[in-house]
Amino acid sequence: MELTRRQETILEIVKRSGPITGDQIAERLSLTRATLRPDLAILTMSGLLEARPRVGYYYSGRSPNRVVAEKLCSVKVGTIISIPAVVTENCSVYDAVVAMFIKDVGTLFVVKEVGLLEGVLSRKDLLKTTLGGHDIHQLPVGVIMTRMPNVIYTTSDETVWSAAKKLITHQVDALPVVRSATQADGGEGLEVIGRLSKTNITRLFVELGEGQ
């Protein structure tokens, strides 16, 4: 989060003299309260300052980086996910390549016909297979995909912070977002309900930077 010079000055005044009223801050800067109102609103909404009626503004004790971190820890995966790009296990490698380009994604999720997660197929998987001299029109993706239970996934209730750490730790571009589901045989499975990608997280950072 980048502050203007005036906002940084206001922050320093409140750190040294808080609690302090808006009129007192304006007087020290030789400005009107109306002029400062947008800056005080930004600093308050961002969590850097707190305000109490008849008391004034005081420093929250949080740095701009800490405010962003706390925001990421409060945002749930389910609020920023995208529609998942899926194929079935019998889909040919050729058709998977076409699907990946058409849907403009770097990862495909392999599911059963009822939508339960079976595996994950990355751009790297397809590239290695295509360059390996295989008959990609006949080879099913089930042969080359990463299968359960080796698939890293997330849920709607997980925080974006935690899910982002999974992306980095496991060096993947996207995670399937799943929820528990009962299979036809009575067993438990994971239904794919969304996709969390690095693009989703980047978009969130942009929105935070714009104060949304």
- For residue 186, what pLDDT is reported? 73
Question: What per-residue confidence (pLDDT) applies to 57?
Answer: 92
Burial of 32 (0-12, 13-18, 19+ CB in 10 A): exposed
Taking only the tens place, the pLDDT of each residue in 20-59 is 999 999 999 999 999 999 999 888 877 788 888 888 998 8
- Please tell me the predicted confidence (pLDDT) of residue 52: 87
Inter-residue contact 207 to 191 (CB < 8 Å): no
The whole-angstrom separation of Cα 63 and Cα 47 is: 9
What are the structure tokens assigned to 36, written together?
A: 């400062």
**Backbone dihedral region for residue 211 (phi beyond 0: left; psi -120 to 50: alpha; all else: beta):** left
Domain boundaries, the chain: 5-64, 77-209
Q: In what order do the strands lie in the sheet with 154-155?
A: 154-155, 174-182, 188-197
For 77-209, CATH number?
Answer: 3.10.580.10
Round to whole Å and give the CA distance between 191 and 181.
6
- What is 5-64's CATH topology? Arc Repressor Mutant, subunit A (1.10.10)
pLDDT < 50 positions in the chain: none
Q: Which pLDDT belongs to residue 89?
A: 94
Contact 68, 167 (CB under 8 A): no
Q: Return the number of other C-beta atoms located less than 10 Å from residue 42's C-beta.
A: 17
**Closest of 128, 135, 143 to residue 90, by C-alpha:** 143
